[in-house]
Structure 1
Amino acid sequence: MVMRDSFLHGILLLFSFFVFFAHHAGADQETTPRCKAWLVQSIPTDMPHLKHVPGVLSTEEVFRWLAGNATERLDLIVQYWQLVASPENPLSGDYGYSSEEMKTFGADAGAGVYRAIEDAADRSVSVRIVQHSGVYPDYCNESSKLAYGRPNVENVTLLFDDWWGSGIVHAKVWIADGKDMYIGSANNDWKSLTQVKEVGVYLVDCHPIAKKVEVYFQNLMKLSSLNSSTYSKRIWDSVWQVHRNVPCWSHFVNARDRCRSPLPGLVETPHVIGYPALENPYMFDVPMNMPDYNHNICGNHRSYVSFSPPEVVFSKHARVKILVAYWAHNIDSTDQYLKSLLYTNTLCESSRYNRCTGKVEIKYYKVPGFNMTGAAVNKGQKTANIYPAYSRVNHGKYAVSDVRAHIGTSNLLWDYFFTTAGVSFGTYHPAIVSQLQEIFDADWDSPYSVPVEPLARPWRTEK
């Protein structure tokens, strides 16, 4: 989400655990090692008209650096594994493509990342993995192979369905030696490196932030070891008017019936009828810089950010831009929902008494070839597909305003914020904000972005 700090605010919005960082300039910065940050992208092949943003690293390189430079431990939170392509497996979405085509797609990048993790394990680095059960047809085969015969590799699967009745481990996090890490949208999938557009952040020498994320990692590890039938309860959710499964220490459970949490690093947050209250989270004061990015640094930056486009259009006179992925697996109701958001403009202009100068703009982001994805051969017959399955999509999940950047792992669906494991990084650091703005603008202004058409107006604007 991008918000401009002027009378007419502008907000760009793109489609858990939150880590917020507040930059400050203090007298002790000369003696304190600085946390360093780089923004990270994956850009699909065959997108020649996308503007290059200088100083942004590639996801493949960052993953290989994290694994290659780890000396003691490497912790991974993973949704699924498909780093090694499977063009010879009839069950795979890679099936039927030639070795030359796979090379052109960049499949070697995934194999290189997998080898880097293997090499780390073979150097006696402690590798710990928390994951969802994976996806068809590979599931957890790659992580199981990593753990086989290596006592220094710990591999656990955590099923949120057993605890909450739905949801998954959806976070994409790498932590090396308790100081370097990646947080972003890229899965451990070769396509996330070269066939899917991803956005993340790479942090180096960030001990305080990494320590907090490690606590979250440890809690997931602990949760995977517990018996959900012993530590969960069925409650009545008065907001959604449904029965739900929750851990027995949840605030959805009556205080007199609530159990003591077995998680070592539980953080209490304000709540309303069980749901976390919407408020600014705890923030770190950590010296940080962005090497090779020329941007003047100033002091603390704090602001109000809302994730409700109609609210900010009316109350803050904001200009909101929303960029939504469009691909072969779109949710059917997406277009209707987006058109209803555009209806905010009609309401805004419906009367001069509204004194509303804000606006919502929405575009679909269409990666070339999005509608020609899948196996090259199906049931012995050649298909019309020219790219592997589940590729050619803008998968980034971030928001940037004129003062604040937010890079996460969650989609904009309600259950991603209540029953799904996600990790986000937020900052007021002006250089990160500025560069993330550049990434958004490059996508928004590209020929791959197509405006969503609004609903027809039911009345004329009052004069």
Structure 2
Amino acid sequence: MKCTILGYPETIDLAAKANGNIEVRSLDFTQWYPGGILHTKSWAVDGKHFYVGSANFDWRSLTQVRELGLAAFNCPCLAEDLTKLLEIYWDMGAPGAKIPQSWPEAYATPAYHERPTSVPQPAGNQAVYFSASPPGFQSCGRESDIDAMVKLIDAAQDTLDLAVMDYAPCTLYLKPLNTWYGRLDEAIRRAAFERQVKVRFLYSRWSHTSAKYYSYLHSLQDLSSQLPCVYSTSNKCIRYGSIEVRLIQVPDMQYGNIPFSRVYHNKYFVTESALYLGTSNWTPDYWKYTAGIGMVVRSDDTSQKSYLVSQFAQIFERDWNSTYTIPLSYFDNNGKWTNGTKLTL
């Protein structure tokens, strides 16, 4: 079996141990951008099967980290399209590779928001497409991750449930100064303010959560008290939006400590009709400078709810109501516990 792997430089020695059956390339994003990494977590197998999700290919992800992904089998129409994204990574891992003015037609995709791929399923056909980041890695027809996310949120009419490890409406890693980029933040606020959508945001809290994230989350939740109401003809408030944020924390191990583990690592959101499942965190650095993939799923029949959307909605509901969540109100803008409310999970 022939296997190609894209990853960190430390994976290079895999090839030497595989008798020629494994090829490995590593991407150095500092050649093309101010920073960035290959943050995609995906498999494509035999042009028929694939996986997209949050899990790194590391034992910690499989045993010590809360992950979420989607595996599909015998689905060549999607596996072949995903393979085009991985082929771009492979090309960019070659020595001296440069981002082309445009990618070859062979890497173009026919699937995007307005024209997704229709995938036959016993429970009802699914409308699916893949998005990508950064811009230089997008072939003809390929939608960007942030465009895909904003379009889905702008289409939400009733509910928007979000779950992610890192979120900020500005870049975090640029030097000497970071820049504002509020497209996702504004889309969330728009949904609650203009269309009275009920927004729930599940945010990961762990040992590496920066204090600055809390003020961004408080800013979102604080808007909830100022959201306008839709009134009936009898002047009664009948509908209003809301934004509620909870933190979710995987408990520490009882014995010992494993670095960079025990964390809620998911990156997805669901509306009443659609799913976005990604490999990137939600800060502009990822959309502009880091390689990631998003998968959008909705029912091909707009009058029906996708069974996959329903499954992910159930997962969110379980996590939202679990004993591992903490209301954002228990923390101040700097991430410190308020009024002695510290909980032990």
Query: Gaps (5+ residues) in structure 2?
Result: 129-150, 155-183, 300-305, 334-345
Paired residue total: 267
CA distance in 1, matches of 2:23, 2:124: 41
C-alpha distance after superposition, 1:369-405 (max 9, x if no partner): 17x8xxxxxxxxxxxx633111111101111111111
Structure with greater contact order relative to length (CA < 8 Å, sep ≥ 6):
1
Match of 1:121 in 2: none
Question: Are the aligned partners of 1:314 and 1:358 in contact in 2 as well (CA < 8 Å)?
Answer: yes
Matched, 1:286 2:286: no
C-alpha distance after superposition, 1:25-52 (max 9, x if no partner): xxxxxxxxxxxxxxxxxxxxxxxxxxxx
CA distance in 2, matches of 1:190, 1:300: 33
CA distance in 2, matches of 1:262, 1:412: 26
Match of 2:274 in 1: 404
Aligned with 1:172 (options 12, 27, 41): 41
Matched, 1:211 2:45: no
Matched to 1:360, the amino acid is: I
1:152, distance to aligned residue in structure 2 (A) = 2.2
Report the secondary structure of 2:227's partner residue.
helix
Matched, 1:441 2:317: yes
Question: Are the aligned partners of 1:398 and 1:407 in contact in 2 as well (CA < 8 Å)?
Answer: yes
Matched, 1:326 2:205: yes
Match of 2:223 in 1: 344
Return the index of the structure with the highest Cα Rg: 1
Matched, 1:389 2:259: yes
Matched, 1:224 2:93: yes
CA distance in 1, matches of 2:230, 2:314: 35
- Note closer, same or farther for the CA distance 1:346–1:162 as it changes in structure 2 (3 Å cut): same
CA distance in 2, matches of 1:357, 1:351: 6
CA distance in 2, matches of 1:225, 1:283: 31
Match runs of 1:96-115 below 5 Å: none
- Note closer, same or farther for the CA distance 1:149–1:198 as it changes in structure 2 (3 Å cut): closer
Report the secondary structure of 2:153's partner residue.
coil
Matched, 1:315 2:185: no
- Note closer, same or farther for the CA distance 1:346–1:204 as it changes in structure 2 (3 Å cut): same
Report the secondary structure of 2:6's partner residue.
strand
CA distance in 2, matches of 1:223, 1:266: 13
1:248, distance to aligned residue in structure 2 (A) = 5.4
Matched to 2:294, the amino acid is: S
Question: Are the aligned partners of 1:223 and 1:263 in contact in 2 as well (CA < 8 Å)?
Answer: no
Report the secondary structure of 1:324's partner residue.
strand
Match of 2:51 in 1: 182
1:191, distance to aligned residue in structure 2 (A) = 1.1
CA distance in 2, matches of 1:299, 1:172: 22
Match runs of 1:264-303 below 5 Å: 265-267=106-108, 280=113, 282-289=115-122, 297=124
1:283, distance to aligned residue in structure 2 (A) = 0.9
Aligned with 2:153 (options 296, 299, 305): 305
CA distance in 2, matches of 1:161, 1:299: 38
Report the secondary structure of 1:145's partner residue.
helix
Match runs of 1:59-208 below 5 Å: 125-133=1-9, 139-140=10-11, 144-208=13-77
CA distance in 2, matches of 1:402, 1:419: 31
C-alpha distance after superposition, 1:422-454 (max 9, x if no partner): 112211141101110110000000111111018
Q: CA RMSD in A?
A: 3.0
State TM-score, norm by structure 1. Answer: 0.53
Query: Gaps (5+ residues) in structure 1?
Result: 1-124, 134-138, 232-246, 250-260, 270-278, 290-295, 373-384, 457-463
- Note closer, same or farther for the CA distance 1:298–1:421 as it changes in structure 2 (3 Å cut): closer
1:418, distance to aligned residue in structure 2 (A) = 1.7
Question: Are the aligned partners of 1:397 and 1:407 in contact in 2 as well (CA < 8 Å)?
Answer: yes
Runs of 4+ in 1 over 6 A off after TM superposition: 298-301, 350-353
Q: Percent identity?
A: 27
Matched to 2:250, the amino acid is: V
- Note closer, same or farther for the CA distance 1:264–1:126 as it changes in structure 2 (3 Å cut): farther
Matched, 1:423 2:301: no
Question: Are the aligned partners of 1:365 and 1:449 in contact in 2 as well (CA < 8 Å)?
Answer: yes
CA distance in 2, matches of 1:331, 1:360: 22
- Note closer, same or farther for the CA distance 1:166–1:263 as it changes in structure 2 (3 Å cut): farther
CA distance in 2, matches of 1:265, 1:299: 25
